[in-house]
Amino acid sequence: MPDVPAADLDYLDRAILSKLQEDSRTIAESIGAQIGLSAAAVQRRIKRLRETGVIAREVAVVEPKSVGVHMTFVVMVEMERERIEVLDAFRKQVLGDPAVQQCYYVTGTADFVLVVACRDMTEFEEFTRRMFFDNGEVRHFTTSVVMDRVKVGLSVPLHGD
């Protein structure tokens, strides 16, 4: 969790974050020119946003098909028992599997929703064996195959003051 409450982020912080969410390689000089700050002031703010955990990490976004990952799946997972040790063990298993792109612990009939990326159905079948069939704590899972990636992103909506 970030150490900076949302209330401590002013409109300049939000403007900087907005620019960085569009392209994290945008240089401080360019951001500063767009929002009316010096490059040094922008750099100080970015440093603070990183140190406080507001900027969690900066990564390259890779087009899956360009590296042979042609299929995406949305999987709803229902655990056998909702005990904390069972949930924690599943979380650990998910965190260790590179095919899992996103994992959400949710309310409703499922306990977890996973977004999974695989090269093909054979790789997805291998994933289901190790993640679900070999796990006695998984009661049920339902899979939807993604037909089109209409919108994919992790940008957080930034509401003004």
Token readout for 144 is: 């939807």
Is the confidence at residue 1, as pLDDT, over 70? no
Distance CA(110)–CA(157), nearest Å, equals 26
Q: State the pLDDT at residue 8.
A: 85
Distance CA(109)–CA(158), nearest Å, equals 31
Condensed to tens digits (0 to 9), the pLDDT of residues 91-108 reads 999 999 999 999 999 999
Alpha-carbon torsion (128, 107, 84, 100), positive or negative: positive
- What's the start-to-end Cα distance of the chain, in Å? 21
Q: What are phi and psi of 77, to 5 degrees?
A: -120, 130
Condensed to tens digits (0 to 9), the pLDDT of residues 13-50 reads 999 999 999 999 999 999 999 999 999 999 999 999 99
Condensed to tens digits (0 to 9), the pLDDT of residues 41-98 reads 999 999 999 999 999 999 999 999 999 999 999 999 999 987 899 999 999 999 999 9
Condensed to tens digits (0 to 9), the pLDDT of residues 115-152 reads 999 999 999 999 999 999 999 999 999 999 999 999 99
Is the confidence at residue 4, as pLDDT, over 80? no
Q: What are phi and psi of 117, to 5 degrees?
A: -115, 130
